């Protein structure tokens, strides 16, 4: 048995620096750098008339002020549309600094560079921008009626329109299937905006080295490789002259996958122009009004079903609020439309969405990325069907489940990776059984009745989801064993707290048979690994984990070949344990991996005593062939890539018991239970942590967080005082159970886990409140004030 670390709750290797204050986050770097600040639009929709910077020129420590007019070609062009799609007929992106028109409060208009951030803000505050007001377009339905336009050349404010339709086995379209169904319901659902809201905002720090004409950029990003390509293109620099590094990143949750941000182009550009280091550290207000939000949708649902609750036809029309720009394409509504189906086999399905521009902050993925809305839609539908038929809510779900024998199961749709939505594996009936047991579903009616006798109001709710994880196109891994026996692993995607340094080391240690302490992992540094996509879509473990495993296997094969020669054994008889290659069953015949690394690199010059073994007169080399054989490379290292045919589908089910106060309408979550299936677990402690965090964000989205825009497009709660992220006092204790259905698609049998926790929470809480109150819940989040309003409306319709 070799060193077995895969599957163990290994303590995190990144912790030591983070708990001693030695982490290096973006703003911890570049202490001598100049600081950038931005004048941002205070208006949601306006034409810029003039910009007067004269009052700012006297500010002590001012270095530079830039407007759009000052930007050179390419830098001044609109930012790239990252994910084009044929349905996105009217994709629009912003200029790095507003050119003529500002389209949301917070859009950057002027860049200021000064000695420190205090002075940069002083100067920014003295710059006068004259605006001519245009009509702000706020609210999905107001925008969809198209009376006023966000972009003059986008009729009806419709950026994209997409219909997908899957007929029934009998060939019926969804609308026909619904019309023919014994029972039909139709209703409307609303889901409000929230945001990723990492505790560290965005940030960029750039150093231009004039001596060797190279640029090094640090960015608090979820994709350093892609930022690098974007910067090289914008600044017309050769790609090898640009390096981008994601240092320690204080949370991402989706917002930092968007790139290049205006600041990611402007800060490096200014650093080159000024020949000085420049840094921009986003503050909290900027993060609220200048980064990205998600979730806002209106859904119209029509469903036909039989007497057992089996869905015969489902027709969903979605209005998706896309904010002012679409740099990330229409990934979010595509995911809503496709992942809406969850663990269910639906008779016939039709989904149509329109992506609507509004004069608000742009919408790009936030953990869950469209799934919470889709799951809300489907799970509300299941509860409606159960209520209509007088059936138990879990019975209706069970009647619709895809069965374990039906995998791979083709949902007949095209997923966000442009590939067929085919579920690889899962066991939904078993998940439901485990969940019901964990929460005590069958005993709940008695508990509820008993509480009612004491004047307390309880409700139970449930939500199920399937999550496509590990989307392509690829990730890579590089593994190098050096002559000191250390193993250096690198991968291009980035980390924001997921514990990659630990889990990737676990994979490498297991594959190579070395102690964990010998392995070090670097992520998100283009100097170490240049080909990568990024960290999003619960893909890091699946993509880079498998790529690293494959690279390790290459290294292992090579190590065994070299060791076999040295030990005069057959490579098939060798094993590696604790960093030593030995002949199985012959403890004496062994060679340390460190020595194998020495032998792997034929040397002319010995740099230390160990290295002498690899030099030309050591007698180790065969005289019959060249020192580096054909098809081999010097060094004990390997690089490999993992590129899946399509995504792998994780799943889970949550249940909650809530209590609502009959007088104050306060909502308390008494219990929260999670059954989760992400295939094989690399590190169960880390997976649990991901689930806890996801559920907490879900609780925020269900009961506390929203982006409140007024009719003028002003964000009324752009601070942590009024955007109510949950504290420890608001998050319930989370009970978890795991089911492990391995993925057949990848060598490690794993599925993604990062986003899972957040996905069904709004659906679950809505279900539970509805059960407690006997009032239909159609809109999330819900506050005590709104519950009170619902009660009043129900009491006197």
Partner 1 sequence: MAETLHEISLTVNGVVREVKVPGRRLLSDCLRHELGLTGTHVGCEHGVCGCCTVLLDGDPVRSCLTFAVSVDGHEITTVEGLSGPDGSLSPVQRAFSECHALQCGFCTPGFLCTVTALLRDNPTPADDEVVEGISGNLCRCTGYQNIVKAVHRAAELMGDEA
Partner 2 sequence: MKPPAFDYHAPRGLGEALEVLAGAGPHGKVLAGGQSLIPLLNMRLASPSHLVDINRVAELDTLVVADGGVRVGALARHAAVERSSSVARAQPLLRTALKLVAHPVIRNRGTVIGSLVHADPSAELPAVLTVLSGSVRLARHGGGERDVPAGAFFTGPLESAVEPGELAVSAFFPSLPPRTGSAFCEVARRHGDYAMAGAAAVVGLDEDLRIVSAKVACVSVGPVPVLLEMSEVCAHRPAASVDWAAVAASVRERIDPEGDIHATAAYRRHLTGVLAERALRIAAQEAAGEQGREGLDG
CB of 205 closer than 8 Å to CB of 184: no
263 binds, among partner 2, partner 1, none (CB under 5 to 8 A by kind): none
* Candidate ranges 283-291, 414-422, 454-462, 463-471; the one touching partner 2 (CB under 8 A): 283-291
Give the Cα-Cα-Cα angle 568, 569, 572 (nearest 5 degrees).
155
Closer by beta carbon to partner 1, 122 or else 771: 122
Q: Is residue 156 left, alpha or beta, with left meaning phi > 0 and alpha meaning psi from -120 to 50?
A: left
Residue 58 is a binding residue for partner 2 (CB under 8 A): no
Smallest distance, partner 2 to C-beta of residue 113, A? 15
CB of 764 closer than 8 Å to CB of 176: no
Give, as one character, the DSSP assignment of residue 616.
Answer: T
Residue 716 is a binding residue for partner 2 (CB under 8 A): yes
Strand partners, 465: 652
Give, as one character, the DSSP assignment of residue 728.
Answer: G
Residue 660 neighbours by CB distance under 10 Å: 22
Burial of residue 761, with CB atoms counted within 10 A of its CB: 0-12 exposed, 13-18 middle, 19 or more buried: buried
Q: Which residues touch 750 (CB under 8 Å, ≥6 apart)? A: 470, 541, 542, 545, 546, 648, 678, 679, 680, 681, 682, 742, 743
Residue 712 is a binding residue for partner 2 (CB under 8 A): no
Residue 540 is a binding residue for partner 1 (CB under 8 A): no
Closer by beta carbon to partner 2, 605 or else 727: 727
Give, as one character, the DSSP assignment of residue 80.
Answer: P
* Candidate ranges 39-47, 311-319, 376-384, 731-739; the one touching partner 1 (CB under 8 A): 731-739
Mark 86-105 with x for binding to partner 1 (rule: CB under 8 A) and - for no binding: --------------------
> Is residue 466 within a helix (H) or strand (E), and if so which, with residue range?
strand 457-469
> Pseudo-torsion of CA 136, 140, 144, 145, nearest 10°?
-70
Q: Which residues touch 721 (CB under 8 Å, ≥6 apart)? A: none
Q: How many residues bind partner 2 (CB under 8 A)?
A: 30
Give the Cα-Cα-Cα angle 28, 30, 35 (nearest 5 degrees).
100
Smallest distance, partner 1 to C-beta of residue 57, A? 13
Smallest distance, partner 2 to C-beta of residue 148, A? 24
Closer by beta carbon to partner 1, 427 or else 705: 705
Closer by beta carbon to partner 1, 570 or else 735: 735
Q: Is residue 412 left, alpha or beta, with left meaning phi > 0 and alpha meaning psi from -120 to 50?
A: left
Kindly state the tokens that stand for 690: 């991901």
Q: Which residues touch 233 (CB under 8 Å, ≥6 apart)? A: 74
* Candidate ranges 8-16, 311-319, 610-618, 786-794; the one touching partner 1 (CB under 8 A): 8-16
Residue 733 is a binding residue for partner 2 (CB under 8 A): no
Residue 516 is a binding residue for partner 1 (CB under 8 A): no
Smallest distance, partner 1 to C-beta of residue 17, A? 8
CB of 80 closer than 8 Å to CB of 327: yes
Strand partners, 207: 216
* Long-range residue pairs from 420-425, CB within 8 A, at least 24 positions apart, any chain: 420/646, 421/338, 421/341, 421/468, 422/646, 423/466, 423/649, 424/648, 424/649, 424/743, 424/744, 424/745, 425/648, 425/649, 425/679, 425/741, 425/742, 425/743, 425/744
* Candidate ranges 23-31, 165-173, 350-358, 626-634; the one touching partner 1 (CB under 8 A): 23-31
Q: Which of residues 252-281 bind partner 1 (CB under 8 A)?
A: 253
Q: Return the residue of 276, 300, 433, 692 that touches partner 1, per CB under 8 A.
A: 692
Residue 217 neighbours by CB distance under 10 Å: 25
696 binds, among partner 2, partner 1, none (CB under 5 to 8 A by kind): partner 1
Q: Return the residue of 285, 448, 457, 613 that touches partner 2, per CB under 8 A.
A: 285
Smallest distance, partner 2 to C-beta of residue 168, A? 45
Q: Return the residue of 11, 170, 792, 794 that touches partner 2, per CB under 8 A.
A: 792
Q: Return the residue of 8, 18, 575, 613 that touches partner 1, per CB under 8 A.
A: 18
Residue 200 is a binding residue for partner 2 (CB under 8 A): no
Residue 407 neighbours by CB distance under 10 Å: 17
Smallest distance, partner 1 to C-beta of residue 250, A? 3
Mark 651-690 with x for binding to partner 2 (rule: CB under 8 A) and - for no binding: ------------xxxx------------------------
Q: Which residues touch 339 (CB under 8 Å, ≥6 apart)? A: 370, 371, 374, 375, 465, 466, 467, 468
What is the spatial distance between Cα 266 and Cα 752, in angstroms, rounded to a whole number?
34
Distances (CA, A) of 155 to 99, 133, 151, 297: 21, 20, 8, 20
Smallest distance, partner 1 to C-beta of residue 762, A? 16
Residue 784 is a binding residue for partner 2 (CB under 8 A): yes
Q: Which of residues 100-139 bind partner 2 (CB under 8 A)?
A: 117-118, 121-122, 125
* Candidate ranges 246-254, 395-403, 704-712, 738-746; the one touching partner 1 (CB under 8 A): 246-254
CA of residue 696 relative to chain centroid, distance: 16
Residue 726 is a binding residue for partner 2 (CB under 8 A): yes
Q: Is residue 288 left, alpha or beta, with left meaning phi > 0 and alpha meaning psi from -120 to 50?
A: alpha
The length of the chain in residues reads 797
Smallest distance, partner 1 to C-beta of residue 116, A? 8
Residue 694 is a binding residue for partner 1 (CB under 8 A): yes
Residue 785 is a binding residue for partner 2 (CB under 8 A): yes
Mark 32-71 with x for binding to partner 1 (rule: CB under 8 A) and - for no binding: --------------------------x-x-----------
Residue 11 is a binding residue for partner 1 (CB under 8 A): yes
Q: Return the residue of 192, 200, 379, 659 that touches partner 1, per CB under 8 A.
A: 200
What is the spatial distance between Cα 696 and Cα 731, in angstroms, rounded to a whole number?
6
> How, if at all, do strands 242-245 and 214-219 pair?
parallel
Residue 7 is a binding residue for partner 1 (CB under 8 A): no
Residue 499 is a binding residue for partner 1 (CB under 8 A): yes
* Candidate ranges 14-22, 98-106, 231-239, 778-786; the one touching partner 2 (CB under 8 A): 778-786
Smallest distance, partner 2 to C-beta of residue 201, A? 11
CB of 265 closer than 8 Å to CB of 211: no
Select from 282, 330, 319 the least CA-distant residue to 106.
282
* Candidate ranges 231-239, 384-392, 497-505, 706-714; the one touching partner 1 (CB under 8 A): 497-505
Give, as one character, the DSSP assignment of residue 608.
Answer: S
Residues that bind partner 1 (CB under 8 A): 11-12, 14-16, 18-25, 27-28, 31, 58, 60, 116, 118, 197-200, 248-251, 253, 283-284, 496-499, 685-686, 688-689, 692-697, 719-721, 725, 727-729, 731, 733-734, 757
- Point out which residues bind partner 2 (CB under 8 A): 117-118, 121-122, 125, 283-285, 663-666, 704, 708, 716-717, 719, 721-722, 724, 726-727, 729-730, 783-785, 788-789, 792
């Amino acid at each position: 048995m070799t060193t077995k670390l895969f599957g163990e709750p290994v303590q995190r290797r990144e912790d030591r620096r983070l708990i001693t204050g030695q982490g290096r986050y973006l703003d911890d770097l570049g202490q001598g750098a100049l600081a950038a600040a931005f004048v941002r639009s205070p208006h949601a929709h306006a034409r810029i008339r003039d910009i007067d910077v004269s009052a700012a020129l006297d500010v002590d420590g001012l270095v530079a002020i830039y407007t759009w007019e000052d930007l050179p070609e390419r830098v001044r062009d609109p930012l790239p549309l990252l994910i084009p799609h044929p349905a996105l007929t009217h994709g629009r992106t912003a200029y790095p600094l507003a050119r003529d028109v500002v389209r949301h409060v917070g859009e950057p208009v002027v860049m200021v560079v000064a000695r420190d951030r205090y002075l940069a803000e002083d100067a920014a505050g003295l710059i006068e921008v004259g605006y001519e007001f245009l009509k702000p377009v706020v609210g999905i339905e107001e925008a969809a009626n198209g009376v006023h336009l966000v972009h003059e050349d986008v009729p009806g404010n419709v950026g994209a329109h997409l219909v997908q339709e899957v007929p029934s086995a009998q060939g019926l379209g969804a609308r026909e299937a619904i019309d023919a169904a014994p029972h039909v319901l139709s209703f409307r659902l609303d889901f409000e905006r929230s945001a990723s809201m990492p505790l560290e905002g965005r940030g960029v720090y750039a150093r231009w080295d004039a001596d060797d004409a190279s640029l090094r950029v640090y960015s608090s990003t979820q994709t350093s490789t892609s930022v690098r390509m974007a910067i090289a293109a914008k600044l017309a620099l050769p790609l090898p002259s640009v390096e981008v590094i994601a240092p320690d990143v204080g949370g991402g949750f989706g917002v930092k996958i968007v790139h290049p941000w205006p600041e990611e182009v402007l800060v490096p550009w200014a650093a080159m122009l000024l020949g000085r280091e420049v840094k921009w550290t986003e503050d909290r207000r900027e993060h609220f009004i200048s980064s990205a939000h998600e979730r806002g949708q209106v859904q119209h649902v029509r469903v036909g079903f039989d007497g057992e609750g089996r869905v015969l036809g489902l027709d969903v029309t979605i209005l998706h609020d896309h904010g002012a720009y679409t740099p990330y394409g229409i990934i979010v509504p595509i995911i809503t439309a496709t992942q809406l189906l969850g663990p269910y086999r639906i008779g016939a399905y039709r989904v149509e969405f329109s992506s609507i521009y509004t004069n608000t902050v742009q919408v790009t993925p936030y953990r869950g990325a469209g799934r919470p809305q889709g799951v809300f839609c489907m799970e509300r539908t299941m509860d409606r069907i159960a209520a209509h038929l007088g059936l138990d809510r879990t019975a209706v779900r069970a009647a619709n489940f895809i069965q374990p024998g039906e995998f791979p199961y083709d949902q007949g749709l095209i997923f966000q990776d442009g590939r067929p939505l085919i579920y690889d594996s899962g066991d939904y009936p078993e998940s439901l059984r485990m969940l019901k047991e964990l929460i005590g579903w069958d005993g709940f009616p008695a508990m509820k009745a008993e509480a009612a006798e004491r004047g307390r109001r309880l409700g139970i709710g449930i939500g199920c989801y399937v999550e496509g994880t590990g989307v392509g196109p690829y990730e890579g891994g590089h593994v190098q064993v050096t002559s000191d026996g250390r193993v250096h692993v690198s991968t291009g995607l980035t980390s924001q707290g997921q514990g990659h340094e630990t889990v990737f080391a676990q994979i490498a240690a297991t594959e190579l048979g070395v102690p964990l302490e010998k392995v070090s992992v670097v992520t998100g540094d283009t100097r170490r690994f240049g080909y990568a996509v990024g960290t999003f879509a619960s893909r890091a473990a699946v993509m880079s984990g498998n790529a690293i495993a494959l690279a390790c296997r290459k290294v292992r094969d090579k190590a065994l070949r070299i060791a076999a020669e040295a030990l005069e054994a057959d490579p098939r008889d060798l094993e590696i344990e604790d960093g030593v290659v030995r002949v199985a069953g012959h403890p004496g015949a062994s060679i340390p991996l460190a020595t194998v690394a020495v032998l792997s690199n034929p040397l002319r010059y010995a740099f230390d005593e160990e290295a002498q073994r690899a030099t030309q007169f050591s007698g180790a080399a065969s005289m019959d062939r060249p020192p580096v054989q054909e098809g081999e490379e010097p060094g004990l290292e390997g690089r490999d890539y993992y590129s899946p045919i399509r995504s792998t589908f994780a799943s889970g089910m949550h249940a909650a018991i809530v209590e609502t106060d009959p007088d104050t309408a306060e909502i308390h979550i008494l219990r929260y239970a999670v059954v989760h299936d992400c295939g094989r677990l690399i590190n169960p402690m880390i997976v649990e942590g991901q689930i806890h965090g996801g559920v907490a964000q879900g609780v925020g989205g269900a009961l506390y967080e929203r982006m409140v825009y007024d009719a003028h497009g002003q964000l009324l709660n752009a601070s942590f005082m009024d955007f109510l992220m949950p504290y420890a006092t608001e998050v319930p204790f989370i009970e978890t159970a795991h089911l492990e259905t391995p993925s057949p698609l990848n060598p490690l049998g794993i599925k993604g886990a990062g986003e899972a926790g957040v996905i069904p929470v709004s659906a679950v809480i809505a279900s539970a409140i509805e059960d407690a109150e006997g009032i239909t819940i159609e809109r999330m989040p819900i506050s005590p004030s709104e519950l009170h309003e619902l009660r009043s409306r129900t009491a006197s319709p």
